[in-house]
Amino acid sequence: MFDAIAPRYDFLNRLLSLGIDRRWRKKAVARLRVPENGRVLDMACGTADMALEIARQYPRTAEIVGVDISTHMLAIARRKIEAAGEAERIRLLDGSCEAIPASDGVFDGAVIAFGIRNVGDRRKGLHELRRVLKPDASLIVLEFSRPRSPLFQKIFNLYFYRILPRIGALFSRRSAYLYLPQSVAEFPEPTRFAEMLAEAGFGPVLHRELSWGIVSLFEATPVIKISGDGLLG
Ligand SMILES: C[S@@+](CC[C@H](N)C(=O)[O-])C[C@H]1O[C@@H](n2cnc3c(N)ncnc32)[C@H](O)[C@@H]1O
């Protein structure tokens, strides 16, 4: 599905969100803490909008690794990264969130924007994100959520369930833009998702609503365990 929608993905993101998606990404990336020479993972990187935002906000010494399962998304990401002159420090890997192609504890930070909802085995994906992060690293998750205000919810639902799939169908694959609201409806509530992060070894989890709850921003750090022999792990 993501291979099929890749060519129009950026265009539809801008159109369907009226450009607000850029602001969500900026805010999410601003919450990362990336040291000099740090390494950041952009999981489910798609066309690399997050990776490029990280490159804009953090020192030139920071290395960024984008991982995605869609070869077509990665091909577009590669072109954008080259056009932005960032090929030296943004690397792309074909891989999945459930089996991240990286050793344990190698990243100082990770982001996953509008990605975790699509990961088949979410629990495994979150454990994998925990595995590849250093103990003092930060994880930022950006994901669609459901607005809580009943009035705004009505207006939003009209747009999200009725108008958005039609616009999506005009320019891209209809089924993908039917899947979007459906997958958002099925995604756990923020409190439940925060629990899932905790179950995967993250804590404390901070949750913030953006744009009246259309989007949720989660920030988490790995829980540091002290083993029997007194070592931090
Ligand atoms: C909605 S797009 C988000 C792309 C990008 N992060 C952004 O902010 O625009 C979701 C992406 O997740 C990728 N994806 C879906 N399941 C995945 C998985 N299990 N592991 C890695 N990537 C996955 C898709 O290929 C797609 O590029």
145 lines ligand 1 (CB under 6 A): no
Longest alpha-carbon distance in the chain:
61
All residues at 6 or more sequence positions from 200 whose CB lies less than 8 Å from its CB, including other chains: 123, 126, 127, 129, 130
- So what's the pLDDT on residue 228? 67
- So what's the pLDDT on residue 233? 52
All residues at 6 or more sequence positions from 155 whose CB lies less than 8 Å from its CB, including other chains: none
- So what's the pLDDT on residue 227? 67
Sign of torsion over alpha carbons 221, 222, 227, 232 = negative
- So what's the pLDDT on residue 230? 62
119 lines ligand 1 (CB under 6 A): yes
Query: Which residue numbers in the chain have pLDDT < 70?
Result: 226-233
Q: Which CATH superfamily is domain 2-147+188-222 in?
A: Vaccinia Virus protein VP39 (3.40.50.150)
User: Considering only CA atoms, which residue is closest to atom 4 of ligand 1?
Assistant: 46
CA of 76 to the centre of ligand 1 (A): 13
45 lines ligand 1 (CB under 6 A): yes
50 lines ligand 1 (CB under 6 A): yes
Q: How far apart are CA 70 and CA 84, in angstroms?
A: 21
- So what's the pLDDT on residue 86? 96
180 lines ligand 1 (CB under 6 A): no
**What are the sequence ranges of the domains in the chain?**
2-147+188-222
> Alpha carbon of 93 to those of 1, 29, 98, 100, 143: distances in Å?
19, 20, 14, 9, 22
User: Considering only CA atoms, which residue is closest to atom 17 of ligand 1?
Assistant: 119
pLDDT digits (tens, 9 = 90+) for 130-157: 999 999 999 999 999 999 999 999 999 9
All residues at 6 or more sequence positions from 107 whose CB lies less than 8 Å from its CB, including other chains: 39, 40, 41, 65, 132, 133, 134, 137
193 lines ligand 1 (CB under 6 A): no
CA of 154 to the centre of ligand 1 (A): 28
